[in-house]
Amino acid sequence: MRGWVDLHCHFIAGIDDGARTEDEGVRMLEALYAIGFDHVVATPHMRPGMFDNQKRDLTEAYARMAPRLAQSGLPATDLSSEHYFDDVVFSRIVAGEGLPYPGKKAVLLEFYAVDFPQAVDRCFSALRRAGLLPVIAHPERYQCLWRSLEPLERLVDGGAAALLDAAALVGKYGSQPQRAAEAILELGLYHAACSDAHRPDDVKDVARAIKRIEKLYGADECEALFGSGPKALLDGQLPD
């Protein structure tokens, strides 16, 4: 299978907890290309207090790596960010100081590990009014969803997208995220899946997860999660 799109990957060197060197980032991209990804969007962290990156820092880091990204045998790349959903970063996004996906129709959001903030529905409405589809990164990892998927169902019903970190399906993050990922997949609440790769070796887990999805749900589901799904999100649309 070719033509897949990875909407969440930490291949830019030395800017967060992802690739430590350009070589490592390039090897990550080579591995993703080898399993079918023709387009990978860099999503380095923007998380105050942990990864104090602003738009300019990320843009400059991506530009520094650009010569390496032009070599053959790699997927096409773009720059976006994994935005940590606090007041500071939310204000930045609304002010145009975030890094939405290319085309500026959708934006990747990461949440506090335990729960969604109380204001999440109101904030998502504001993003939608600004023309941005909120894309929830790895919902299977948020502890509130291990007890009940109701908060995620509510947000998806309200027009948000859910992005599976595929490696959760092969136990990379432990049994609870794996069970949550399986349940969310079973309910059909994911709109796309991604690698969230931080190291070249992480791609092995993604390959195993793809095999597992194919075995459980068939090749059409893989195509929906890694092909048509992410393409629709880049277009600001929720796939059917």
| Chain residues that interact with Fe ion, rule: CB under 5 A | 82, 196
| Among the listed residues 67, 147, 80, the one whose alpha carbon sits nearest the alpha carbon of residue 110 | 80
Distance CA 209, CA 140 (A): 14
| Among the listed residues 125, 131, 130, 135, the one whose alpha carbon sits nearest the alpha carbon of residue 160 | 135
DSSP SS3 for 85: coil
Write the Ramachandran bin of 196: left for phi over 0, alpha for psi from -120 to 50, otherwise beta: left
Cβ closer to Fe ion: 74 or 109?
109
* Start-to-end C-alpha separation, the chain: 21
- What residue is closest to Fe ion based on CB? 196
Q: How far is the CB of 194 from Fe ion (least distance, A)?
A: 8
Q: How far is the CB of 174 from Fe ion (least distance, A)?
A: 16
CB 131 within 8 A of CB 94: no
Cβ closer to Fe ion: 81 or 228?
81
Q: How far is the CB of 240 from Fe ion (least distance, A)?
A: 26
Tokens 């998380």 correspond to 47
Cβ closer to Fe ion: 27 or 223?
27
Cβ closer to Fe ion: 70 or 113?
113
CB 213 within 8 A of CB 39: no
| Among the listed residues 80, 83, 110, 102, the one whose alpha carbon sits nearest the alpha carbon of residue 94 | 83
Tokens linked to 63: 């530009």
